[in-house]
Amino acid sequence: MEIDDLESTSNSVHKSPPKKRRRVKKKKRNEEDEEYEENKNMATQINQKFGSKYKSNRKDETPMFEVRNGKSVIKNSGNHEATVNRTLDFHMTKLFQWEEQSDAIESSYVCALCHENGEKRELFGPYYATHNPIKYWPSFLAKKPTAKKPTKIELWFHGSCVLWAPNVHLHGNQLTNLDNQIDIFWSQTCIVCRKTGAAISVQNKKNTFIHYPCAKNKVFYRL
Q: Please report, as ranges, the residues that interact with Zn ion according to CB under 5 A.
A: 111, 113-114, 158, 161, 190, 192-193, 211, 214
Please report, for residues 19, 98, 148, the alpha-carbon distance to residue 166 in angstroms, rounded to integers and kept in the order given: 85, 23, 28
Q: How far is the CB of 219 from Zn ion (least distance, A)?
A: 15
Q: How far is the CB of 75 from Zn ion (least distance, A)?
A: 54
Smaller CB separation from Zn ion, 131 or 211: 211
Are the beta carbons of 85 and 54 closer than 8 angstroms?
A: yes
Smaller CB separation from Zn ion, 131 or 158: 158
Minimal CA–CA distance to 141: which of 207, 200, 195, 209? 195
Please report, for residues 90, 109, 175, 187, the alpha-carbon distance to residue 100 in angstroms, rounded to integers and kept in the order given: 19, 16, 15, 27
Dist. CA 143–CA 145, nearest whole Å = 6
Dist. CA 124–CA 57, nearest whole Å = 43
Q: How far is the CB of 197 from Zn ion (least distance, A)?
A: 8
Smaller CB separation from Zn ion, 190 or 202: 190
Smaller CB separation from Zn ion, 82 or 192: 192
Smaller CB separation from Zn ion, 77 or 160: 160
Q: How far is the CB of 61 from Zn ion (least distance, A)?
A: 56
Q: How far is the CB of 196 from Zn ion (least distance, A)?
A: 9
Are the beta carbons of 203 and 222 closer than 8 angstroms?
A: yes
